[in-house]
């Protein structure tokens, strides 16, 4: 199956999306000072890195 890429652009401040129906949306990243990490974040970082890296590998191919 193919998962469509709805994200059309991204930068440090936001990401823009366009759906199949042409509807556009923007996700605005919160300031770094407003991001609260869970206390157990270290337990999940290795898994997150593995998932993130595998996605990048697939996108390059």
Q: What is the pLDDT of residue 52?
A: 84
Please give the Cα distance from 10 to 15 (Å, whole number): 4
Assess if residue 41 is contained within a domain: yes
Number of domains in the chain: 1
For residue 17, what are the domain limits? 7-60
pLDDT, one tens digit per residue, over 2-46 is: 777 899 999 999 999 999 899 999 999 999 899 898 999 999 999
Assess if residue 47 is contained within a domain: yes
Q: What is the pLDDT of residue 47?
A: 92
Assess if residue 35 is contained within a domain: yes
Assess if residue 2 is contained within a domain: no
Assess if residue 1 is contained within a domain: no
């Amino acid at each position: 199956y193919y998962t469509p890429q709805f994200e059309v652009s991204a930068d440090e401040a936001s990401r823009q999306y366009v759906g199949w129906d042409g509807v556009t949306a923007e996700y605005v990243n919160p300031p770094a000072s407003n991001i609260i990490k869970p206390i157990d974040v270290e337990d999940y970082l290795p898994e997150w890195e593995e998932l993130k890296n595998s996605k990048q590998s697939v996108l390059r191919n």
